[in-house]
Amino acid sequence: MATSIRLDREDDLAVLTIASPPLNLYTADLQRELGEAIGELEATPPRAALIRAEGKIVSGGVDVSLFDAQSSAAEAKVLFDEMLAIPDRIAALPFPTVFAAHGLCLTWAFEVAVACDIILASEKAKFGLVERVVGLTPTMGGTQRLAARAGVGRAKEFVMTGATYDAATLERWNVVNRVFPADGFDEAVRAFTTDLAQGPTRAHAATKKVLEHYEHGGVAEANEHITTIAAGLFDTEDLRGAVKSFLADGPGKATFTGR
């Protein structure tokens, strides 16, 4: 049986590929395989992860027969809880995560994208939460994560209209971090993510933890935890080595191991 998800390791970088073209639809099999791949990342963490897709588009959305199979609200709740766990687990990974969108990126794939730390998009990419066409609202955290990036008003517009938005618009909204030319997109994305993988991995995890506190309780809560989080980095080889390198050779000369 063909697999829908592929996980490759390239030195310190993990590349998770959605590999069920032409539409890369969300199915029960894809959900299971995606959960297993995330489990591998949790069990053996890389220093950065890139999530990408094969084919002309990133995803055309969810296989609607998955919704048709739900006979009650209680059944649907079980399914939606399982679906929501996917982006939640991605958001909790203790290393940088990058989502690469080279083309159309709808529903579940967009919800995974906004769970990642950084979204990189081709100039040809388009994004949408189009659940309104089946009378549904997004269930995998996309609405609220979009609101965290772009504001509540933009999230309401995005979801209620069910329209698709280009990469330049979502960069202006602070949803997409960077837009790259379509030519050479894969190479640019891998270079960007590889650079993150070569950085101070434990410090990147600390940054994510500080921002998690900010998202939960604003500046005040982040301030309650920042000094403890930052002080803990003095137990890492990367900080100790980089400080010595700075003093001996100046800035930008240190190499990091992730320890």
pLDDT in tens, the chain (259 residues): 567 999 999 999 999 999 999 999 999 999 999 999 999 999 999 999 999 999 999 999 999 999 999 999 999 999 999 999 999 999 999 999 999 999 999 999 999 999 999 999 999 999 999 999 999 999 999 999 999 999 999 999 999 999 999 999 999 999 999 999 999 999 999 999 999 999 999 999 999 999 999 999 999 999 999 999 999 999 999 999 999 999 999 999 999 999 9
Q: Rounded distance, CA 259 to CA 254, Å? A: 13
Contact 101, 167 (CB under 8 A): yes
Q: Count Cβ atoms below 10 Å from residue 112 Cβ, excluding itself.
A: 27
Q: Rounded distance, CA 196 to CA 252, Å? A: 14
Q: 3-class DSSP state for residue 10?
A: strand
**What single-letter amino acid sits at 175?**
V
Q: Is the dihedral of CA 159, 162, 167, 168 positive or negative?
A: negative
Contact 105, 59 (CB under 8 A): yes
**What single-letter amino acid sits at 186?**
D
Per-residue CA distances from 24 to 29, 38, 224 (Å): 11, 18, 43
Per-residue model confidence (pLDDT) at position 141? 97
Q: Where are the alpha helices (DSSP H) in the chain?
A: 28-43, 65-68, 73-91, 108-113, 142-150, 152-161, 167-172, 185-197, 201-232, 237-249
Per-residue model confidence (pLDDT) at position 3? 79
Residue 170 token pair: 């979502």
- Give 122-180 as a DSSP string: ETT-EEE--GGGGT----SSHHHHHHHHH-HHHHHHHHHH---EEHHHHHHTTSSSEEE
Per-residue model confidence (pLDDT) at position 2? 67
Per-residue CA distances from 239 to 132, 197, 207, 236, 251 (Å): 48, 16, 14, 6, 13
